[in-house]
Structure 1
Amino acid sequence: MHTLTQRALAPDLARGVMLLLIALAHAHMYLLPQTTGFRSYALDGSTLDMVVTGVQITLVDGRAMPMFAALFGYGFVQIAARQGDDARRVLRRRSVWLLVFGCAHALLLFFGDILAAYGLLGLLFAGAVRWKDRSLLVFAGLWLVVHGAATALAGLQIAEFGGAAGLASATDPVTAMIDRLMSWGVLTPFLLVDLIVPFLLGVLAARRKMLIEPHEHQKALRAIAFGGIGTAVMGGFPLALVDTGVWNGAPEVALYVLHGLSGVAGGLGYAALMGVLAVRLTQGPVVRALAACGERSLTCYLLQSAVFVAVFVPYAGGLGSRLGTAAASGIAVLTWLATVATAEVLRRNDLNGPAETLLRKLTYR
């Protein structure tokens, strides 16, 4: 078993913090508003709801997933280095099981599952760990155009038919399972399109050991963090103005595309920021707990969804029809803190997360 002292801090710290962003991005999807904007936030909330919506659209939505995609690519290189000639087969087997985990997650808990998209990504790009650096950069640059075009098509659909609303409105578990699987089947390919560029750049960063040896790359990490997060803020803020009703008559689809593309830079920037902080932070109780959460990120991610179902959906807690965005985000923060505490208890008892243990057994047999 890998303990914290045997692992690089930066990747686990990044995953632990990323789970907060994912919780914030997902919680509002369990609400039942009548009308929603481009990022599926309610358009008729209180002033506080609108403020929270604006902050999350600018800093969270479309930023957490690229961050994890970069970390996913980073991890692929590390696994490949350990497995040698058997690397591609192991990576693909792991990806198949991630796809199975994602399907089960969507069936039982959340239509917006991201595990399956990462599984598909791994199946399609397991060989990318052996690509030349130039090939990674050229393909990433060309795919960014595809990403922009796909985002524009999605934006046109939203502009014509409105944002998604009521996707967690089923009043009985069986109907909810059917609805989730149908939504998941449509959403997953679109998520895959968004993940390819940061995944490939994560592979490139792993070859340079930018997060494993962050002290050697502080100048580059600071530049990526400042440039990436700055780009995300500038690219996300205009759409935040649209979705909060501040800016009417704006070029909505163009701003939706800008938000999506700038999210790639934001995800890379957040990951780089964790590399900067890993050098500067002492490994006190808080940092160790966050890293423990990141080391058990699969378990903690699934726990988030389980809590959200228990709290929000009509056939359980039923708060999805009564709360606004701000309250849902507050619940998301509390849920994340609970998963951090759970991960720290597991760490202190020298235990891996159950989901990680199962995935490893299935992958390595």
Structure 2
Amino acid sequence: MSDRLTTSVRVPEIDALRGLALFGILMVNVWFFADPGGPAGGPAGGPAGGQISDQAVRLLVATFFEGKFYLLFSLLFGYGFVVLRDSTTPHTVRVIGRRLAALGVLGVLHGLTLFYGDILVTYALAGTLLLATRTMTTRARWATAAAITAGVSLLIIGSALLVLAAGPAGSGAAALGPGTASDTPGEAFAANAGTYGAILPSVVLFQGPLALAAFHAGAALAERGVLRPHPPSRRVLVRVAVVALPPGLAVSALQAHLAQQGGEGLSLLATGLSVAASPLVTIGYAAAFLLLLRSRPGRALGRVMAGAGRISLSNYLGQSLMLCLVFTGYGFGLADQVPLPAVPVVVVGLYALQLGASHLVLARFGTGPVEAALRRFVRRTPAL
């Protein structure tokens, strides 16, 4: 994912943005482990019930995190695709193809053993389509990204309206999470693998088009020279943040509220609104974060987060491993044991560990373990 040709062509802001995306992904994924009994495991799922503090945490996480940071990760994947495509490396198409194949294999292993919500298989499939359209013009990329996002959003919203018009619907059964019935490692594996096999087609069919849209948008940004070699001006970043964040977060708050009400129709409507609003929030977050990086505290924070972003593939898989060790039968088995308001605190602690570990690994080895293995597989040589 973040593995580039050489450190000399790295863009620090891109690495820092990847580090930010990793934090947001962890804040969303943790609920599938910490609260696997909740509907769909997600922070906003299920009817509004329980303690007010629990409802507030779910609402805030759904509003500010859900759907935004996987999208940022996907934008950066598309950005990195163009950097690799435009490199002087011989046989670039073959290299990218082997990377995608390796990601697919890693994704299957990750989904079966650690987290059924794996994104790597979807990335591999959508990335193959991106590779097939590598000569597409920048304007066509923008049009494709917009059309896919609008189409998916309208399709889901239309389906929701039909369900709501048909009458009340139940809230649906809770999804089996990796922490469910997992007092032992064997039970943890069985629960996760069973869920992965059941939901993989729907995950690919839903997330695949959205990932492809984000890939095209990220590729278009790279082709336009955004962040290469310099970030946009402060005025541009302020304008983007001011224009994108208020409406995007307003719709996201409505989406989170609807998702908490329960029922198939409202849940579908919330999903459709999330698809429409998340690109605005994601772009607004990126602009605001790039503004922060221009301050003295922001520069220090950016350097720390860039280390995690440089080895984002290792850290993405490492997050699932940490969550399994904390919440499932692979480790301490704390699923449904941690009060919901404390879950974000756990996330901050785990992410801090990742930041520290990333810098130790980079200082010692110069790259992450998964990135090193992927590089050897793709190049068939220990070094680039």
TM-score range, shorter chain: 0.7 to 0.9
Amino acid at match of 1:165: A
Structure 1 match to 2:227: 211
Amino acid at match of 2:318: L
User: Distance between the aligned counterparts of 2:95 and 2:288, measured in 1?
Assistant: 30
**Alignment partner, residue 29 of structure 1:** 32
Residue in 1 that maps onto 2:18: 15
Tell me how far 1:5 sits from its aligned partner: 7.1
What pairs up with 1:103-118 in 2 under 5 angstroms? 103-118=108-123
- 1:227 paired residue number: 243
Aligned residue for 2:274? 259
Question: What is the percentage of aligned positions where both structures have the same residue?
Answer: 23
Superposed CA deviations along residues 74-124 of structure 1, whole A, max 9, x for unmatched, are 000000111467333222221111111111111110001111111111111
Render the CA deviation track for 1:133-184: whole Å, top value 9, x for unaligned.
Answer: 2211222232123321454488669965526433221431442243143145
Query: After superposition, where does 1:70-85 map in structure 2 within 5 Å?
Result: 70-83=75-88
Aligned residue type for 2:313: L
- CA-to-partner distance for each residue in 1:294-342, whole Å, 9 max, x for gaps? 0011111111111111111245322113234322222222111111110
1:364 aligns with 2:379: yes
Structural mapping, 1:234-245, within 5 Å: 234-244=250-260
Three-state SS of the structure 2 residue aligned to 1:319 is coil
**TM-score, L = length of structure 1:** 0.88
**Count of aligned residue pairs for this structure pair:** 364
Q: 1:139 to 1:308 in 2, by over 3 A?
A: same
* Contact 2:252 2:274 (8 Å CA) reproduced: yes
- Structure 1 residue 42 displacement after superposition: 5.5
Find the counterpart in structure 2 of residue 190 from structure 1.
206
Q: 1:55 aligns with which of 50, 60, 76?
A: 60
1:87 aligns with 2:103: no
| Runs of 5+ consecutive residues of structure 2 not aligned to the other structure | none
Give, in angstroms, the shift of residue 25 of structure 1. Answer: 0.4
Change beyond 3 A, Cα 1:126–1:40: same
Tell me how far 1:274 sits from its aligned partner.
3.5
Q: Output the CA distance in 1 between the equivalents of 2:106 and 2:39.
A: 31
8 Å CA contact 1:292, 1:343 repeated in 2: yes
CA 286–38 in structure 1, closer or farther in 2 if over 3 Å, else same: closer
Query: What's the TM-score, normalizing by structure 2?
Result: 0.84
Q: Which residue of 2 aligns with 1:162?
A: 172
Check the 8 A contact 2:107/2:120 in 1, yes or no: yes
Tell me, yes or no, if structure 1 residue 202 matches structure 2 residue 218: yes
CA separation of 1:315 and 1:74: change in aligned 2, threshold 3 A: closer
CA deviation profile, 1:50-69 (whole Å, cap 9, x unmatched): 21111111110010111111
**Contact 2:5/2:84 (CA < 8 Å) preserved in 1?**
no
- Aligned partner of 1:123 among 128, 149, 167: 128
Say if 1:11 and 1:159 are closer, same or farther in 2 by CA, change over 3 A: farther
CA distance in 2, matches of 1:159, 1:236: 23
Q: Distance in 2 between matches of 1:282 and 1:8?
A: 19
| Aligned-partner SS, 2:91 | helix
Q: Which residue of 1 aligns with 2:149?
A: 144
Summarize the alignment of residues 333-348 of structure 1 with structure 2, pairs less than 5 Å apart: 333-348=348-363
Classify 1:5/1:163 alpha carbon distance in 2 versus 1 (closer, same or farther; 3 Å): farther
Task: Note closer, same or farther for the CA distance 1:8–1:17 as it changes in structure 2 (3 Å cut).
Answer: same
